Amino acid sequence: MSRICEITGKKVMSGNYVSHSHAKTRRKFYPNLHTKKFFIPEEDRFITLKVSTKGMRIISKKGITVALRDAKKDGFYTA
């Protein structure tokens, strides 16, 4: 599976390692993703999402149903 948050859409970014001599080599910045189960009370079931820690904060602030609706609208969640 790809390293993309299903709520916020965060994904891998690229950049440079910069040494003391300023020699630059390519590197990747990975998002802080976790596989987590969430309970949807309206559907009375659990779903498993790959979310970043920012995505978990959005879910706890807005609620799982609103966060999933917004993620579907933005094209990050496709189930």
Residues 41 and 22: their CA atoms lie apart, in Å, by 53
Query: Domains (ranges, CATH) in the chain?
Result: 13-72 (2.30.170.40)
Divide the 79 residues of the chain into consecutive groups of 10 and give the mean pLDDT of each group: 92 98 98 97 96 97 96 92
Tell me the pTM.
Answer: 0.86
Task: Specify the amino acid at residue 70.
Answer: D
Q: How far apart are CA 6 and CA 75, in angstroms?
A: 9
Q: What pLDDT is stored for residue 68 in this prediction? A: 96
